[in-house]
Amino acid sequence: MYFYEGKELVVSDKELKDNALKVNYEFNEKHTPSFEIVGDKLLVKVNHGMSEEHYITAIVYKYENGYDVVRLNANDEPNWEFEYKGNGEIFEHCNLHGIFAIKM
């Protein structure tokens, strides 16, 4: 799995394993993604403000056979509607606080 920050590919599986950027699974009100499965859609929300200095750069939906990456800008809402492809994990990256994830 890869994670994008801005327009650059910054984290690979190996880097995650090596803890170059730790994935935080502990619940955090402002960072842990929440999700809802509605029919064939997966609705993901992050309860985080968005400003040029501090924002959610990406949301990643990882499922059994792959992953979908959505990159966000500071003026976007930190929400996304994915096509539901089975349970997996949802990750988000905050430019100041790192990666937070939840297992579905």
Separation CA 57–CA 37 (nearest Å)? 23
Segment contacting Fe ion (CB under 5 A): 10-18, 37-45, 57-65, 87-95? 87-95
**Size of the chain, expressed as the number of residues it contains:** 104
Task: For residue 50, state whether it binds Fe ion (rule: CB under 5 A).
Answer: no
Minimum distance of Fe ion from residue 32's CB (angstroms)? 11
Using the rule CB under 5 A, is 74 a contact of Fe ion?
no
Binding-site size, Fe ion (CB under 5 A): 3
Q: How do strand 23-24 and strand 98-103 relate by DSSP bridges? A: parallel
Minimum CB–partner distance for residue 12 and Fe ion (Å): 22
Return the bridge partners of 68, or none. Answer: 61
User: Which of these ranges, 35-43, 66-74, 77-85, 86-94, lies near Fe ion under the rule CB under 5 A?
Assistant: 86-94
Residues 19 and 83: their CA atoms lie apart, in Å, by: 30
| Cβ atoms 90, 43 nearer than 8 A | no
Tokens 């499965």: give the residue: 37
Nearest to Fe ion by Cβ — which residue?
Answer: 94
94 lines the binding site for Fe ion (CB under 5 A)? yes
Residues near Fe ion, by CB under 5 A:
94, 96-97
